[in-house]
A = this chain, B = another copy of it.
Amino acid sequence: MEINDTQENINEELLIQTANEGNLDSFREEFLDLHPYDQAQFFFKIDKEIRLKMYYYLSPKEVADFFEMLEIEDEEYKDILAEMEPKYAAEMLANMYADNAVDLLNKLGKDQTASYLTIMDKDAAQEIKGLLHYEEYTAGSIMTTEYVAISQNQTVRSAMYILKKQAPTAETIYYVYVIDEDLRLAGVLSLRDLIITDDDTMISDIMSDRVVSISVGDDQEEAARQMRDYDLLALPVVDFQNHLLGIITVDDIIDVIDEEASDDYSKLAGISDLDKMDKSPFTAAKKRLPWLIILLFLGMFTASLIGRFEDTLSQVPIVAVFIPLIAGMAGNAGTQSLAVAVRGLATGEMDESGKFKIILKEAGTGIVTGAICGILVSLVIFIWKHDLILGLLVGFSIFASLLVATIGGSLVPLFMHKLKIDPAVASGPFITTMNDITSILIYFGLATMLMSYLIQ
Contacts and interface: CB of A to CB of B under 8 A. Distances in A.
Contact of A292 (B6, B174, B264, B332): B332
A221 interface: yes
A329 B296 contact: yes
B365 A285 contact: yes
A280 interface: yes
Interface string A424-456: 000011001100100010000000000000000
A273 B396 CA distance: 29
A320 interface: yes
Contact of A233 (B6, B250, B328, B331): B250
A167 interface: yes
B310 A318 contact: yes
Interface in A302-338: 302-304, 306-307, 310, 313-314, 317-325, 327-329, 331-333, 335-336, 338
Contacts of A364: 280-282, 284
Given A264-B265, A320-B313, A320-B320, A5 B329 contact: no
A367 B377 CA distance: 37
A275 interface: yes
A52 interface: no
A96 B368 CA distance: 42
A195 B306 CA distance: 74
Interface stretch (A29-37, A115-123, A149-157, A238-246): A29-37
A291 interface: yes
Nearest to A338: B269
Interface string A139-160: 0000000000000000000001
Contacts of A433: 328
A202 interface: no
17 contacts: A37-B229, A160-B195, A233-B250, A268-B269, A271-B340, A274-B339, A284-B340, A284-B361, A289-B373, A292-B369, A292-B402, A296-B373, A317-B320, A327-B328, A328-B331, A331-B432, A332-B432
